[in-house]
Amino acid sequence: MSENRNIMTDQTTLERELVSRARKGDSKAFEDLVRMYQEPLYRYLCRLSENGEDAMELTQSSFVKAYFSIGRFRGESSFKTYLFRIASNTWKNTIRDRGRRRSIDIDQVSIASGDNPYEEVVRDQEHKKFWSLVEELPARQKEALTLRIREGYLFEQVAKIMGCTTGSAKASYHHGVEKLKLAFEGEDR
């Protein structure tokens, strides 16, 4: 436990140093921030957009916006939270501006392999069913569920990323969970 705390402290210290240097115009420091957060940001946006190409565009756009706004970053949260907030807003604006486009990324299709392929297929189908129902939720509920369940953020972090209060983030999450329960109950009948 202590080792994990030290790693997190080291990463937080490194992040602060990189942000400080980037705010002073050090482009190498910002490149290091990109390397640090590119993969988790891309995964998050993949989950929201359901499309690898869109997620890559959104990731790039989010980093460009972060680069040009880093001087306004006040440090009230971690840079990662700030970056995810930018990405969240970028995703919302994309949905609003062009509507939703649904497609499947062939690289994300999984094939069962293991001791009991049947159980894996059933588990995979249930997982896909759950997340397809999440996709039908209103955007705020979908985002709250994705941030909380898939990304593992605390409600306080979810609220900062979504740009709302902690209570509102919890409400969006719980309303989404209730709608999912009703959807699953309806299918069991």
- End-to-end, the C-alpha distance of the chain in Å comes to 45
Give pLDDT tens digits for 93-117.
887 776 544 444 444 444 445 556 6
Per the structure block, which two tokens stand in for 24?
């002073």
Other Cβ atoms less than 10 A from the Cβ of 97: the count is 7
Q: Residue 9 pLDDT > 70, yes or no?
A: no
The predicted structure's pLDDT at residue 132: 81
Per the structure block, which two tokens stand in for 113?
């392999």
**Claim: this prediction has a pTM higher than 0.85:** no
The predicted structure's pLDDT at residue 103: 42
Q: Give helix 79-98 / helix 27-49 axis angle, nearest 10°.
A: 50
- In whole numbers, what is the pLDDT of the chain averaged over residues? 81
**Distance in angstroms (rounded) separating the CA atoms of residues 105 and 189:** 32
**Distance in angstroms (rounded) separating the CA atoms of residues 52 and 80:** 21
DSSP class of residue 149 equals I
DSSP class of residue 150 equals I
Phi/psi at 14 (5° precision):
-60, -45
| Closest listed residue to residue 58, CA positions, set 21, 17, 101 | 101
What domains can be seen in the chain, in order of their start residue? 1-99 (1.10.1740.10), 117-189 (1.10.10.10)
The predicted structure's pLDDT at residue 102: 43
What's the full length of the chain, in residues? 189
Give pLDDT tens digits for 110-149.
444 555 666 666 676 777 777 788 888 898 999 998 888 8
Q: 36-46: string of b/e by CB count within 10 Å (b at 16+)?
A: bbbeebbebbb
| Burial of residue 3 (number of CB atoms within 10 Å: 0-12, 13-18, 19+) | exposed
What's the one-letter identity of residue 119? E
**Distance in angstroms (rounded) separating the CA atoms of residues 100 and 125:** 23
